Homo-oligomer: A and B are copies of this chain.
Amino acid sequence: MQHKLTPVADCAVTFRDPFWAPRRQVNRKVTLAREYELLRQTGRLDAFNPRVKGVHQFWDSDTAKWIEAASDALGAAPDPVLQRRVDTVVRRYVRSQQADGYLNSYYQRVAPDKRWTNLRDMHELYCAGHLMEAAVARYAAGGRDDLLQALCRYADHIGTVFGTGKGQKRGYPGHPELELALVRLYRATGQKRYLDLAAYFVNERGRYPYYYDIEAQARGEKPSAEKRGQAYQQLQAHLPLREQATAEGHAVRACYLYAGMADVAAETGDAGLKRTCRRIWKNIVTRRMYVTGGIGSSFAGERFTVDYDLPDEGAYAETCASIALVFFARRMLDLELDGAYGDVMETALYNGVAAGVSLDGTRFFYANRLAVYPALMERRISGQHFTSFRQSWFGCACCPPNIARLYASLGAYVASTAADRIALHLYAAGEIEAPVGDGVVRLALKTDYPWDGEVAIAVTPDRPRRFTLALRLPGWCARPVVRINGRRQPLARIARAGYAYLEREWRAGDRVDLSLPMAVERVEAHPSARQAAGQVALRRGPVVYCLEACDNGPDLADLALPRRAPLVARRSPILGGCVVIKGRATRRSRDGWKDSLYRTARAPRVPAAFQAVPYCLWNNRAEGEMRVWLREC
């Protein structure tokens, strides 16, 4: 393919669908305002002010994500109050920048003499990356280049400090993020030096001798042997990236890094990096991903563990990690248009990500477990991230503003364009204005997706125009049908790698009908995924379901679903309107157990009608048990 695909801008997409439109509205009206208030109360928005106490190494990133989210929201719709808030916060950053371009509230306030002495732990380059992303978003939303200019200066400063040149430090971020941010900065400014710097960070990472050893020695520490092996794997820095074959360590860091690597590969055409992207992607999605698109199964280290290790109660599956997977998937889609990437992106968005925030936009999950027993949470597991209910804030507040910026920029995940193509990845009612060649094509989608799979697309080019409309054929749909102006298209011929390629001269009034029949499916996991053995997850379209105690009573694990029991999908008014699944299972009778914990008499089973709701909507009505995987009998 000669032309590179580029995401459409969020502001070119209008959502009128039942799923994202209300969430984006809540995000703009409620979440952004509450996060502003919490960032303000905790001191983050005024971190350079000497009166603010407790400045933390990751504060800049929290604020930057909020600036990015607010800027994206302002790009979609003006809001004077929000605009004033963003301008004020940005002004503080711009004003606080040092003469050499350095810009970090923690080091400037707390340890001005310790700059660049601990990349491994201190999030210094990570914060720089988030500020760059915020700067690009602010510029893209309304042309305000104050922060962009500041961050270019900062990037230039970073470019003088790090690199392979004489006197430069051969360091790289302990928490990746800067890599993809530099590519965004390159795309926004056209300055190739930012791409080169991103490529440097990607290529330098994990080389021996380890930079983290060198800087530790410079700090007067003796890096232990343990640190080198296990601990650098935690940071994806145990091996040069091109030699890495599996997704390792902290899941958010990992997928931010892989996303940055995919960006560099896309811009440089580096075949080795592309291979590495594909290899690690494959390891994630075929061995280390929850059915919800959650990744990073271990609370300890917030990390990947080993192939097929996907505990449900013990799942960590950080909200930020699913977001990072969406970033990685989105970039792989533009690198090589393959529906498999779109399938994972869609799964993560409708499940692992959407579960991260309450319907009212005020509460968040940090960890997204696939089975929850509230009684246990009180006693067994400590840590505020591992609760059985969403919380309004976290000391480590990465997830809330990360959701906010993803939701505010969601349009950019819907479609990509190139000179001769529009690729449609997600289906949501609304309009898309896509630049194609020298003109513009409007797509108007009518659909009740994700609750229904009938999608009508009115195609309106600015003038009759030949181009390809590539429609993603979701992997969950066994028999999709595509019609143009009522005529069924031969998918066997025009579909490849999960997309249907509709090439023709399009005219105003053309209509495409995409029919994606949605059945309730029982999904099973690979025989090596032991924690799901004998169980199925219910899925309909891209939406994964769960059972909650408020619908089904406690002891959900004892429910067993007969193999051939019919499962009925029904539109329900609950939870803001959604499709629920109803069926009949069985559970063991409690009679006759008295005070026995174990017994050999077989307990009789009694019928138990059940209702499953979308996983992303759980804990919006009550606290209680929840379970995704259901045992079959």
A309 contacts chain B at the CB level, 8 A cutoff: yes
Given contacts A306-B376, A379-B306, contact A595 B533 (CB under 8 A): no
Are A558 and B530 within 8 A (Cβ)? yes
Shortest CB-to-CB span from A427 to chain B, Å, is: 20
CB within 8 Å of B: which A353-401 residues: 373, 375-376, 378-382
Tell yes or no: A298 within 8 A of B by CB. yes
What's the Cα separation between A375 and B305 when bound, in Å? 9
The winner among A289, A529, A537, A539 for most chain B CB atoms within 10 A is A529
Chain A 516-531 per-residue mask, 1 if CB under 8 angstroms from chain B, else 0: 0000011111111111
* A527-549 interface (Cβ within 8 A of B): 527-531, 533-534, 537, 539
Option from B307, B380, B526 in Cβ contact (under 8 Å) with A596:
B526
Inter-subunit contact A523/B382 (CB<8 Å): no
Cα distance A376–B304 in the bound complex, in angstroms: 11
With the chains together, A314 CA to B300 CA distance in Å? 14
A571 within 8 A of B: no
Q: How far is the CA of A287 from the CA of B598 in the complex (A)?
A: 10
Minimum Cβ distance to chain B for residue A202 (Å) = 25
Contacts of A527 in B (CB 8 A): 555, 558, 587-588, 590, 593, 603
Q: What B residues does A380 contact at CB under 8 A?
A: 298, 300, 305-306, 309
Give the contacts of A273-326 with B (CB-CB under 8 A).
Answer: 282, 285-287, 289, 291, 298, 300, 305-309, 311, 313-314
Contact A600 B524 (CB under 8 A): yes
Q: Is A184 an interface residue (CB 8 A)?
A: no
A12 on interface, CB distance cutoff 8 Å? no
CB distance from A586 to the nearest CB of B (A): 11
In the complex formed, the residue of B with least CB distance to A631 is B534
- A306-B380, A380-B309, A534-B560 as given contacts; A529 in contact with B597, CB under 8 Å: yes
Q: Indicate the member of A311, A376, A381 with the most B CB atoms within 10 Å.
A: A376
Instruction: Tell me if A525 and B597 are in contact (CB < 8 A).
Output: yes
Q: Which residues of B contact A306 (CB under 8 A)?
A: 375-376, 378-380
Interface size class of A (residues with CB under 8 A): 35 or more
Question: A140 near B: Cβ within 8 Å?
Answer: no
A341 to chain B, nearest CB (A): 14
- Quick one: CB contact mask for A576-593 with B, threshold 8 Å, 1 for yes? 000000000001101001
Q: Which residues of chain B have C-beta atoms less than 8 A from A529's C-beta? A: 597
For A544, the closest partner residue in chain B by CB is B598
A523 and B600 contact, CB distance less than 8 A: yes
How far is the CB of A228 from the nearest CB of chain B, in Å?
16
Closest to A519 in B: B600
Contacting residues, chain B, for A305 (C-beta < 8 A): 376, 379-380
Check A557 for interface membership: any CB of B closer than 8 A: yes
Does A497 touch B at the CB level, under 8 Å? no
A379 to B306, CA, bound (A): 7
Nearest B-chain residue to A285, judged by Cβ: B597
The answer to whether A633 has its CB under 8 Å from any CB of chain B is yes
Check if A633 sits within 8 Å of B534, measured CB to CB: yes
Contact between B596 and A309, CB atoms less than 8 A apart: no
Chain B residues with CB under 8 Å of A531's CB are: 557
> Across the two chains, which residue of chain B brings its CB closest to A531?
B557
Say how far A245's CB is from chain B's closest CB, in angstroms: 14
Partner of A523, one of B373, B556, B598: B598
- 10 A-B Cβ contacts within 8 A? A286-B595, A291-B598, A306-B379, A307-B375, A309-B375, A523-B600, A524-B600, A526-B593, A527-B555, A529-B597
- 11 more A-B residue pairs beyond the given contacts A300-B381, A300-B382, A534-B633, with a C-beta to C-beta distance below 8 A: A285-B597, A309-B380, A314-B314, A373-B530, A521-B600, A525-B597, A526-B593, A526-B596, A526-B597, A531-B557, A537-B598
- A-side residues, CB < 8 A to B, are 282, 285-287, 289, 291, 298, 300, 305-309, 311, 313-314, 373, 375-376, 378-382, 521-531, 533-534, 537, 539, 554-558, 560, 587-588, 590, 593, 595-600, 602-603, 631, 633
Q: Which 6 A-B pairs have the closest CB atoms?
A: A530-B557, A533-B557, A527-B558, A305-B380, A527-B588, A286-B595
